[in-house]
Structure 1
């Protein structure tokens, strides 16, 4: 079976839905379809079901620029974000555009036709060929099927349950249980207070090394007050602008004066722990923003630790035992449940095999033009959000750029655009920047790379990107455009 589509969006998560909404507004002349391998939209916010799942960015910047988040809570839980996305789907009539339980297997660009031939497995597990003008990757950067799960020594000896947060059991009852959470990232620091509040007997966070954690208020009282005296839209815009500035300011301070920011963060933690917990568990050896900064609402993690209902262990695992984990220090952590909050398994474009005229595309040997278009690959773009600010900030400006590019091509009768790469620009760092986090290191063999200079270098600077992308013209000699071709009588070369 063959199906002709105009623009094919892969993924109905926060990136895909945002891009679809922008296309609906800015490119009404273009038809688009969204492929989603799961049963529902929402991506991360539909997949993860673990206790306490929430945003780690403020919602004034995590919401789309075309749909203000007009609530006073700074962070939002997973169900609230899913409901927000549901409103976007309804308002932009996207439900009928999404093909659920459809999986992209491979995609081949036929340069003679200037079209993508995409092999798709439908919900009956039958294969189809979809012929698309543009392919837009909105799958994020992790594998939805599997989280990163290291093999722990003697793991099979443990008699309790081992759970990865990406695959949280439905209606899982952990009340009265002793829990050990392996990890110290955003998932772990969310799970600790949530599971204590959910009835766990005791929760221990086991970490190899500490993470920087900042406490943020759960309610934006300034926004609340502004809404009472200013028009709603103005209050939102001022709050969004303030929070974008704060995000950028903290990151800039980390780059310019890391010792000062470190001192401020550690002092804040020390004040919240009130001498009840050893600061060694919250004193990283690296500088702020060498790894992603984690946030907790109203210091909930520190309150739980002070109460004694939860604890932290900073150590290495020697081996699992029947009843828990033996650490290299000799300490034994008793556990009924072990949660492996060990991170994500990196994957690009949903794991599909991509080729040009049946020649494989190795994404790790390509760069991103303006942080969006894959170098030397025709009619393909992907959206990867910021590492140091809200993911959605990048979605909005990238989607706007893609829409303007498509309109430019329509106006001039172009069928193909290629961002011509220069291998002299290619660096070892990925587009995820120079963060030292484990999941970033694991991404080296799949992630597109940084370039030395613009337009190939990724700055992770929203304010600079917004200005650059809004003002970007399409007469850049890096961009190669080709006119439309007459449909050939021969059948397209189907995807192998």
Structure 2
């Protein structure tokens, strides 16, 4: 191979122009300014999830004070906002830092191929759905999340194909859908269903949320007294830091309490729910989950809009098992029938890691799910690649930021020591000693059905799943690399900055 063919197009290629990708680009500009990079995204605009999802009421499922970037604090008055506002915030953040000029839209990465000689990644790309091209880089950052943007989670609903009305999956919301004065049944009880119900109820004849089992739905004020006071008495920059810290501590406290004292937490949530139900409505059977809080992700409804829709009589909730669906009805195992005009299958999202990109290492197919993840960021035997995964029990952004700090530190280490390759690996004996743990500690159906797409995690460091932000951040910034189960560094020739 000629010398000029071995040169990379970029030092780093970031895949994904959502929260993870934009945040990593900022951290790299901040900590590794000598490196060249670009961002590749298959969509037409910034935003990732917030560009894809367009169903009514789509909004953040965690507070914006911690969901926003640490380097560009959220200054809006509401802590939960519509998805379009989040997407605009991401676009403005990227423009502020010049990151938008590094993005190549409609560049879908199909395959990543690592070659040990000359220690680089080749990216096979489709541009505008037609043109084929390739780019080469020394390092890959995957900010692709873990949802399948192209296919929904198949809903195993008996007889759904017989229904003569409209069947809609919220992930692919039709622009021309008219649900005004229609009877709508939303099948599901997760965040999507809980978001849809109050939004649809404003113009639909009636909306019924049909669930197999209840979930915890907590009402959260969008504007807090604490925030108002802090913003009034402190300079804005200091106030933003204080408010962000408050929400980080609040999240950690709530999750910890739920895990340590599940009975107490369950009693608290059910008591709060009872206070905002319509008069005379019982908690059973529609509002008492069979699991403990945070065994599945806690759902939020801003200012209690979910319960307000039920109190208005425009919406209702029903718990039961679907026996079958006919051309015009839903028959439940209890014998009850529903007669919707539109059925919406909010039954979860299909999981897919790395955006479905095929990966090979020296010509051999590489399967992420067969290997253990190091610090929830790199995967054993996979060179020069960082995978960004956020938290399930806190804001996604916090997890991606700790990963970005770790990746930038690795890049600096490679540059300073003249390393061409850095990757985690272990011996066969060490691997036998590991006790596997779930990658995501959630019992939701979509996680159970799709959890095999994730890399393995273990009970011992550094192969453990995520814990909490401050611990992960401390490890990312100051943790040791070379340890019994640590990163193995190889290649002492190439300077990454060249």
Give the aligned partner of residue 211 of structure 1.
215
Work out which of the residue numbers 378, 381, 387 in structure 2 matches 1:373. Answer: 378
Give the aligned partner of residue 464 of structure 1.
471
Shift of 1:124: 5.2
Maintained 8 Å contact 1:204/1:313: yes
* Pair 1:429 & 2:433 matched: no
Give the 4+ runs in structure 1 shifted more than 6 A.
none
Count of aligned positions: 484
Shift of 1:169: 1.0
Give the aligned partner of residue 242 of structure 2.
238
Q: Does 139-148 or 89-98 show the bigger shift?
A: 89-98
Question: In 2, distance between residues paired with 1:85 and 1:459?
Answer: 25
Superposed, which structure 2 residues align to 1:297-376 within 5 Å?
297-376=302-381
Q: Secondary structure at the match of 1:443?
A: helix
Maintained 8 Å contact 1:35/1:104: yes
Q: Secondary structure at the match of 1:410?
A: helix
Shift of 1:474: 3.8
Unmatched segments (≥5 aa) in structure 2: none
Superposed, which structure 2 residues align to 1:29-428 within 5 Å?
29-123=34-128, 125-197=130-202, 199-279=203-283, 280-421=285-426, 422-424=430-432, 426-428=434-436
Question: In 2, distance between residues paired with 1:386 and 1:425?
Answer: 27
The verdict on how the C-alpha distance between 1:340 and 1:233 changes in structure 2, with shifts beyond 3 A counting, is same
Maintained 8 Å contact 1:425/1:456: no
Question: In 2, distance between residues paired with 1:480 and 1:315?
Answer: 53
Cα RMSD (Å): 1.7
Q: Which has the higher strand share?
A: 1
Question: In 2, distance between residues paired with 1:402 and 1:287?
Answer: 35
Maintained 8 Å contact 1:430/1:448: no
Question: In 2, distance between residues paired with 1:256 and 1:486?
Answer: 49
Give the aligned partner of residue 456 of structure 2.
449
Deviations 1:218-241 (A, max 9, x none): 112321221111111111111111
Maintained 8 Å contact 2:405/2:473: no
Q: Does 461-470 or 355-364 show the bigger shift?
A: 461-470
Given the two structures, how large is their TM-score scaled by the length of structure 2? Answer: 0.94
Q: Secondary structure at the match of 2:151?
A: strand
Shift of 1:348: 0.8
Question: In 1, distance between residues paired with 2:411 and 2:316?
Answer: 54
Question: In 2, distance between residues paired with 1:124 and 1:329?
Answer: 48
Maintained 8 Å contact 1:277/1:306: no
Maintained 8 Å contact 1:367/1:426: no
Given the two structures, how large is their TM-score scaled by the length of structure 1? Answer: 0.94
Question: In 2, distance between residues paired with 1:476 and 1:398?
Answer: 19
Shift of 1:266: 0.3
Q: Secondary structure at the match of 2:148?
A: strand
Shift of 1:427: 4.4
Maintained 8 Å contact 1:277/1:305: no
Question: In 1, distance between residues paired with 2:37 and 2:433?
Answer: 33
Deviations 1:243-263 (A, max 9, x none): 111111111111111000000
Shift of 1:482: 2.5
Give the aligned partner of residue 494 of structure 1.
none
Question: In 1, distance between residues paired with 2:493 and 2:472?
Answer: 34
Give the aligned partner of residue 493 of structure 1.
none
Shift of 1:430: 3.1
Question: In 1, distance between residues paired with 2:281 and 2:343?
Answer: 22
The verdict on how the C-alpha distance between 1:425 and 1:299 changes in structure 2, with shifts beyond 3 A counting, is farther
Give the aligned partner of residue 22 of structure 2.
17
Shift of 1:464: 1.7
Q: Does 476-485 or 452-461 show the bigger shift?
A: 476-485
Q: Secondary structure at the match of 1:414?
A: coil
Question: In 1, distance between residues paired with 2:463 and 2:481?
Answer: 15
